[in-house]
Amino acid sequence: MFRESVISLLIALFFLFFGEMFLNALHISRYSLVLTGGIVLFLLALKMIFHSSGPAEADQTKQEPFIVPIATPMISGAGLMTVIMVNAAAEHNNIKIFFAILIAWIGVTGVLVTSPYIQKLIGRNGMAALEQIMGMILGLISMNMIVDALRLFVQTQ
């Protein structure tokens, strides 16, 4: 569990420092970055809310997970990368974002490491309910990102 979250931290930091260079090379403007994040997060949220045991779970291999699916896309998913890149483009102070990533990462790792106890505390049904609520919130956030992106696009016209 700990190894996976370290890998996800590395991925997040990589995107913080090289994301902008990459975007400039491909001529990608900010609104499409935000829009991509919004759409991908929205699809993810739909998956969380209408949770069904589809093929996505069926093809997960039985062996010990490595990088996929825990480090990425579960922790350092597409949405996180987009958020980091957007903020790195908006803020000039990279140190600030670096510490933000670090603090959030410590929180996530703490939750993951203590997850067996949490699950015992709120029960299996509670976890399922919590996931759907999280999906709802994620859906709201992603829709907000999409709207923001569209506004940015209209403003550039």
Contacts to another protein by CB under 8 A:
25-29, 31-33, 35-36, 39-40, 43, 55-56, 59, 61, 65-69, 71-73, 78, 81, 153, 156-157
Q: Is 68 helix (H, G, I), strand (E, B) or coil?
A: strand
Q: Report yes or no: 38 and 83 within 8 Å, Cβ to Cβ.
A: no
Q: Give whichever of 22 and 99 is closer to another protein, judged by the CB atom.
A: 22
Q: Is 63 helix (H, G, I), strand (E, B) or coil?
A: coil
Closest residue by Cα to residue 78 from 39, 134, 130, 122:
39
Give the nearest distance from C-beta 54 to another protein in angstroms: 9
Residue at token pair 């829009």: 35
Give the nearest distance from C-beta 112 to another protein in angstroms: 18
Give the nearest distance from C-beta 126 to another protein in angstroms: 28
Give the nearest distance from C-beta 32 to another protein in angstroms: 4
Residue 114: C-alpha distances to residues 7, 9, 70 (Å): 19, 18, 16
Q: Give whichever of 66 and 99 is closer to another protein, judged by the CB atom.
A: 66
